[in-house]
């Protein structure tokens, strides 16, 4: 006990918490630390806010991303296009032609290389960012004026930023009887192509530096290596 100056007695316990009237009595703490299924109101509202924000973000981004990548990943309804007689592509020359496909998006310029007993249609779209490449007959090579991409006579990368060679297109040669003589550079009969045989250009495809074929990829996408897994989109 302690004696006050006025004679009133006050215990040590009375000197602690305020004991007078309160406007609002606080709710007693509810310890649910031993209940793994318990969710507090704050935790619940935080979860709701995160889920709602994720749904709104997805609703905004999905159409935007879809609009951006759809033109580069959609397939082409390709058909064989007759681009003229075999005589129009002289031996040991690379001839530039315009190919008209079944839709405006399929129209493109192609360099047809007739060398080493092989016919190779090479698309003039740079594999870096899609700029049109130019062919130099003197050096028998291709170059891109946009960012310095350089390719040899077969469209294989020899310098600059392109991640893969120039894309190619399927090709076949049909004789007067309508039989395939050549297809993608492979002879299918014992006879060599004749001047009046027809050359047909088909679907575009991508290749690697070893000239192995792959589904058509957009510009900037590698077809081999670790980075190719970061670019899953193709236009097959």
Per-residue pLDDT, 45: 73
219 closest CA partner among 102, 108, 100:
108
pLDDT given for residue 1 in this prediction: 47
The whole-model pTM stands at: 0.64
Backbone angles phi, psi at 71, to 5 degrees: -65, -25
Give CA–CA dist 169/183, Å, rounded. 11
What distances in angstroms separate CA 202 from CA 90, 106, 180, 205, one per listed residue?
A: 20, 11, 13, 10
Residue with tokens 């004749």: 194
pLDDT of residue 60: 72
- Contact between residue 114 and residue 91 where contact means Cβ atoms under 8 Å apart: yes
d(CA 201, CA 171): 5
Q: What are the b/e assignments for 37-51, b being 16+ CB within 10 Å?
A: eeeeeeeeeeeeeee
User: Which residues of the chain fall short of a pLDDT of 50?
Assistant: 1-2, 67, 70-73, 235-236
6 burial class (0-12, 13-18, 19+ CB within 10 angstroms)?
Answer: exposed
3-state SS assignment for residue 162:
coil
What's the rounded Cα separation, in Å, for the pair 117 and 135?
A: 20
pLDDT at 156: 97
CA pair distance 87, 120, nearest whole angstrom: 15
3-class SS of residue 181:
strand
Burial of 122 (C-beta count, 10 Å sphere; 0-12/13-18/19+): buried
- Cα distance between residue 195 and residue 188, in whole Å: 17
What does the angle CA 125 – CA 131 – CA 133 come to, to the nearest 5 degrees?
60
């Amino acid at each position: 006990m302690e004696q006050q100056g006025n004679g009133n007695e006050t215990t040590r316990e009375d000197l602690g918490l305020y004991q007078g009237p309160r406007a609002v009595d606080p709710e007693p703490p509810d310890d649910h630390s031993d209940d793994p299924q318990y969710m507090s109101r704050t935790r619940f509202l935080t979860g709701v806010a995160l889920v709602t924000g994720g749904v709104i973000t997805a609703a905004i981004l999905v159409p935007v991303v879809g609009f951006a990548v759809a033109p580069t990943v959609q397939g082409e309804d390709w058909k064989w296009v007759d681009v003229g007689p075999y005589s129009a592509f002289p031996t040991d020359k690379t001839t530039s032609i315009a190919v008209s496909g079944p839709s405006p998006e399929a129209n493109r310029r192609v360099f047809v290389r007739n060398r080493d007993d092989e016919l190779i249609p090479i698309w003039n779209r740079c594999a870096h960012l899609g700029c049109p490449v130019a062919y130099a007959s003197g050096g028998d090579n291709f170059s891109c004026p946009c960012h310095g991409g350089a390719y040899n006579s077969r469209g294989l990368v020899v310098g600059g930023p392109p991640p893969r060679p120039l894309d190619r297109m399927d090709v076949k040669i049909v004789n007067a009887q309508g039989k395939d003589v050549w297809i993608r550079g492979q002879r299918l009969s014992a006879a060599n192509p004749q001047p009046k045989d027809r050359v047909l250009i088909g679907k575009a495809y991508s290749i690697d530096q070893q000239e192995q074929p792959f589904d058509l990829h957009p510009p900037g996408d590698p077809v081999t290596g670790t980075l190719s897994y970061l670019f899953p989109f193709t236009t097959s």
